[in-house]
Amino acid sequence: MAWRIEKRTLSGERAPWWVFPAALFFAVFVGALIFIGLGVNPLEAYAAMLKGSVGSFFHFSEVVVRAIPLILTGLAVAMAATMLLWNIGCEGQLVWGGICAAGTGLFLAPHLPPFLVIPVTIVAGAGGGALWALIPGLLKAFLNVNEILTSLLLNYIAIIFMEHLYFGPWRNPEGFGFPGTAQISDLARIPHFLGTRIHLGLVLALVLAALIYGGLRYTRWGYRVRAIGLNPRAAGYAGFSIRRQIVGVMLLSGALAGIAGMAEVSGIHFRLQQGLAVGYGYDGIIVAWLARLNPLAVPLAALLLGALIVGGEQLQSLLHLPASISMVLEAVLLFGLLLSETLARYRLVRRPDAPDRSAAKKETAP
């Protein structure tokens, strides 16, 4: 008897249940090694992280606050990846959502009927992100330019443009020279809940997650998106316009990231300033993958990553570890997931006998 590793052939089969626990275990284990390397007792470190993230209502509310943009960017990445598009540009789209929300709150709000200010802000944020994502979308659909590169590079342009605004034309004249715009109108601030920093963005994010989940399963549009993602040739045979879907999905993906930026500006910062582009766009990639592209699992994955980020900040202040420790832990978690997913794609099979011997046996037969 010989054992052999064989690749599972069919895509689209559910991964076994153990993939996620295995990834988590891997992350905790490798994380512990890193803590030991840094001269910290891993038990102490994990305890600090747990206490700092779920140890009290206040701490947990901060985790939720971080999870809000992560849900939205996670949905944005998952949405695009469902159709095999890699939107690495959520960071830039988030920035544009923020720019448009800030612009609305600063300049447009005074001229609008009060009840319209928040809806207009939301639409502006979504529109800003969508238009920024339209660029890689059109390039991909009509010129087949790789969207990974274009969407990624556009991030830097968006960030620099935002800096130009708050260092230059939009800078607060009464800001004592600090970079940043003035505070947006009170009317443009989205409501908060339970006396915490948790804001309306949470409701938006959860509703959108449910809508996308349902949309993919129960609408004609969603059927086309899934079909193209699973088998573009069959989708072409069925007569679906792949170009149109690419543009549409990129618009939607950008709009989701734009809403994340809008919610950060209108719910947390109340102005455009440094600290908007802190990597939620890139974290969205991890969230989407942790959620296995399932929109309903995205909020849970975002909470996990939010806890990791908030817990990591505790390590920094309590144990004086470098600030980048939470990014390292995020990376370890992603690697753990990729590793266990890869393993799940193979299985052990038994082969009846070794090949050479069977040939020899036949040779000696009369």
Partner 1 sequence: MTASPPPALALDNISKRFGDVVANQAISWSLQAGRIYALLGENGAGKSTLMSILSGRYQPDEGTIRLNGRPVRFQSPAQALEQGVGMVYQRFMLVEPLTVTENILLRRGPVSLARSRESRALRELAERYGLAVNPDATVRDLSMGERQRVEILKLLHRQADILIFDEPTAVLTQTESESLFAILRRLKTEGKTVIFITHKLEEVMAVADDIAVMRRGRMVSQLAADKVRSQHDLARLMVGREVILNVDKPPVTIGAPVLTVRGLTGPGGTARPSFRNINFDVRQGEVFTLTGVAGNGQEDLVAALAGITSLAEGSVTFKARRYSAAGWRNRPAAGMAYIPEDRDRVGSIAAFTLVENFLLTRLAEGKQSPLLNWPQVADETANAVKRFAIRGSGIQGLAGHLSGGNLQKLILAREFSRKPDLLIAEQPTQGLDVQATEDVWQALLRQRETSAILLVTGDLKEALSLSDRIGVMFRGEILDIVSARDTADIDRIKLLMAGLGAR
Tell the smallest beta-carbon distance from residue 236 to partner 1 (Å): 7
- Which residue lies nearer to partner 1 by CB, 26 or 213? 213
How many CB atoms are located within 10 Å of the residue 168 CB?
9
Using CB under 8 A as the binding rule, whether residue 239 contacts partner 1 is answered as: yes
Tell the smallest beta-carbon distance from residue 235 to partner 1 (Å): 8
| Footprint on residues 298-357 left by partner 1 (CB under 8 A) | 355-356
Structure tokens at 272: 């455009």
Tell the smallest beta-carbon distance from residue 362 to partner 1 (Å): 6
- Which residue lies nearer to partner 1 by CB, 120 or 252? 252
Task: Let me know: does 63 contact 53? Beta carbons within 8 Å.
Answer: yes
- Pick from 33, 43, 116, 238 the residue near partner 1 by CB under 8 A: 238
Using CB under 8 A as the binding rule, whether residue 223 contacts partner 1 is answered as: yes
Convert residues 176-215 into a mask of x (bound to partner 1 by CB under 8 A) and - (unbound).
Answer: ----------------------------------------
Q: What is the dihedral of CA 13, 15, 17, 22, to 10 degrees?
A: 170
Using CB under 8 A as the binding rule, whether residue 219 contacts partner 1 is answered as: yes
- Pick from 58, 167, 193, 218 the residue near partner 1 by CB under 8 A: 218
- Which residue lies nearer to partner 1 by CB, 5 or 194? 5
Structure tokens at 75: 């949905």
Task: Let me know: does 339 contact 26? Beta carbons within 8 Å.
Answer: yes
- Report which DSSP code applies to 199: B
Select the span of 29-37, 177-185, 225-233, 322-330 touching partner 1 (CB under 8 A): 225-233
- Pick from 64, 227, 287, 329 the residue near partner 1 by CB under 8 A: 227
Residue 97: name the closest of 313, 232, 284 by CA: 284
Using CB under 8 A as the binding rule, whether residue 66 contacts partner 1 is answered as: no
Using CB under 8 A as the binding rule, whether residue 233 contacts partner 1 is answered as: yes
**Single-letter amino acid, residue 175:** G
How many CB atoms are located within 10 Å of the residue 59 CB?
17
Using CB under 8 A as the binding rule, whether residue 13 contacts partner 1 is answered as: yes
Distance CA(148)–CA(346), nearest Å, equals 28
**Residue 218 CB-half CA count within 13 A:** 6
Tell the smallest beta-carbon distance from residue 196 to partner 1 (Å): 37
Tell the smallest beta-carbon distance from residue 139 to partner 1 (Å): 24
Tell the smallest beta-carbon distance from residue 356 to partner 1 (Å): 6
State the DSSP string of 117-177: HHHHHHHHHHHHHHHHHHHHHHHHHHH---HHHHHHHHHHHHHHHHHHHHHTTTB-TTSTT
Instruction: Write the CA distances from 289 to 137, 191, 266, 285, 322, integer angstroms.
Output: 21, 30, 28, 6, 26
Binding site for partner 1 (CB under 8 A): 10-13, 218-221, 223-224, 226-227, 230-231, 233-234, 236-240, 355-356, 359-360, 362-363
